[in-house]
Amino acid sequence: MGIFYYLLVSSLYILAIPFLLYLSFKKKYKDSILARFFLKNSPKFENDDIWFHACSLGEVVSIIPIIDNLKSHKIDISVITQTGYKRAKQIEHCTLRYLPFEIFLPFWIKKHKTLVVVEAELWPMLFVVAKLRGIKTVLINARISDNSYSGYKKFSWFYRWVFSHIDKVFAQSQIDKERLESLGAKCVEVFGNIKNSSTPVVSRHYAKPNRRVIVMASSHEGEEELILENLKLAVDDVLIVVPRHPERFKSVHEYMQNYAKTKKLSYAKLSEKEDFSQNIILCDKMGELINLYAICDIVILCGSFKDGIGGHNPIECAYFNTKIISGPYVFNQKALFPSVENIKICQVEELGSMNFENLKNTKIKQTRKMEKLINEIIGKKI
């Protein structure tokens, strides 16, 4: 199975080279494509202790509390995306790499004590080669969403092979545990979502305006229009729009600028003005969402008003006890939403008649202790 899979992905890699070279000229992918698919500035890890692999920004943030409990260990981190790399670079005393594409892993992976992989990063050669090197493999924060489960089942034979190389799995919920076991996962334990234990870090302290601040957080294509068609802003409200993907900054700017002009509202980009005196502000800077949560009154948590995305993490904004409004499509966050009290879930059409003053501030119900997870990673017997 392993040899057949390796030959298959090698063939696909050769066919994809022209497209990969094309992508390497795009700012969003430049560093990651060259590192992952052409091994530019991507030497092997030198440490042999604990290796974390996380895909992108959210997964990197989620492992920080774990790494904080492993300060006596040598830590390596691999990522997939440039946003994940940028955040991981801020973690002290860690060696950071982009994870090379699968065909390179047999020649790139060296012996570690433990490999810890976050969520759905089920790269087969990552686990197969790790086990060949004698590395203990642990999958944490594992989940399978409602939408993707049917797809997993169609290839259950394939995932049984992958899971046969994973020693321990920490699932987000009981239903995730059952789904993972049906796909061949062994030693599965329900732990909850580790993002529940992450403490948001404010990197820039803005002065709180003497006005109600509403943050439209992590909006996806079409959500800005959908929400603004239904949202009724008060005269003194400050609305800050934070698109999920930076490549959309330009198109969202054009839309928001026209919207503000039509409604006779003042408008600015955060990169140009930081005084929050405008009616509408576009956050066109990365890494600002936590800083904006710290000064806002209401969060409209996007990725949830159109079916297919599955919602976003409510823990980060609930940490600041904001009022949170979410759409109903939160299937990717089922393990996190029950951990927050007073989230208002509604259809987008309900925004227009909603009395914001009647909403309750949110608070986090519980936090997840890390001892069991830490002991599993370091191999300590309880």
Assigned CATH for 213-364: 3.40.50.2000
| Domain 2-199+370-378: which CATH number of 3.40.50.1110, 3.40.50.1970, 2.60.120.1310, 3.40.50.11720 | 3.40.50.11720
State pLDDT tens for residues 264-281: 999 999 999 888 999 999
Confidence of residue 334 (pLDDT cuts 50, 70, 90): confident
pLDDT at site 379 = 86
Tokens of 252: 């969202």
Mean pLDDT along residues 243-269? 94
Residue 71 has pLDDT above 60, yes or no: yes
- Tell me the pLDDT tens digit for each residue of 198-232: 778 888 999 999 999 999 999 999 999 999 999 99
Instruction: Report the alpha-carbon distance of residue 202 to residue 319 in Å, rounded.
Output: 11
Q: Which residues contact 353 (CB under 8 A, 6 or more apart)?
A: none
Distances (CA, A) of 40 to 33, 43, 94, 99, 218: 9, 8, 19, 11, 31
| Backbone angle region of 135, left / alpha / beta, with phi > 0 → left and psi within -120 to 50 → alpha | beta
**Greater pLDDT, 274 or 128:** 128
Strand-pair partners of 271: none
Which pair of structure tokens corresponds to residue 261? 């002009």
Contacts of 83 (CB under 8 A, 6+ apart): 56, 57, 286
- pLDDT (tens digit per residue) in 36-47: 999 999 999 998
Which pair of tokens denotes residue 1? 């199975």
Per-residue pLDDT for 367 more than 70? no
- pLDDT at 382 > cutoff 60: no
- Look at residue 146 in the predicted model and tell me its pLDDT: 84
217-235 in b/e form (b: 16+ CB < 10 A) is bbbbeebbebbbebbeeee
Alpha-carbon span 256 to 337, nearest angstrom: 30
Spans of all domains in the chain: 2-199+370-378, 213-364
Predicted local confidence at residue 196, as pLDDT: 75
Backbone angles phi, psi at 71, to 5 degrees: -65, -20
3-state secondary structure string, 89-117?
CCCCCEEEEECCCHHHHHHHCCCCCEEEE
Q: For the whole model, what pTM was predicted?
A: 0.75
DSSP string, 296-316: -SEEEE-SSSSTTS----SHH
Same fold, 2-199+370-378 and 213-364: yes
